[in-house]
Amino acid sequence: MVFIIAILILALDCITKFLITKNLFLHQSVPIIKGVFHFTLVHNRGAAFGILKNQTPVFIFTSILAIILFYFSLKNTKQKNSSVYRLSLGLILSGALGNLIDRIFFGYVIDFLDFRIWPVFNVADTAVTVGAILLGWSILRTRT
């Protein structure tokens, strides 16, 4: 089930990025809820929030390493009965794959979700963030 969710999230990430790049120009912004939420096409050549720009080979290497580690953690975890733990790893895995695909094919990550008070992000970023929060919660929950 976790792999199905991960594949669906990865597919959603790829489809939304494709649609945005076909319908918007770079830095073009389309208000969905004016002043609150826009679609804004940005090419992120760095890590989170655009830090460490133009380090694509480093990001590709670390993404591949992280994907391998999360995959084996998902397969060999002692917490196999914890659906939240497994879901969190699946979300992080799918998000990492989504952004890795961008970096390999384009040299940057396609971002487009713009809430105006936060840096522009994408579906893969959302999956990694939600996955990390769930992972932390799952780990804390099993230690108490």
Q: Of the residues 13, 102, 111, 114, which is catalytic?
A: 111
Alpha helices in the chain (DSSP H): 2-23, 56-76, 83-106, 123-143
Q: Of the residues 13, 102, 114, 125, which is catalytic?
A: 125
Beta strands in the chain (DSSP E): 29-33, 37-44, 109-114
Q: Is 111 a catalytic residue?
A: yes
Contact 116, 38 (CB under 8 A): yes
Q: How many CB atoms are located within 10 Å of the residue 60 CB?
A: 15
Q: Is 125 a catalytic residue?
A: yes
Structure tokens belonging to residue 64: 């591949």
Q: Give the residues across from 40 on adjacent strands.
A: 29
Q: What is the set of active-site residues?
A: 111, 125
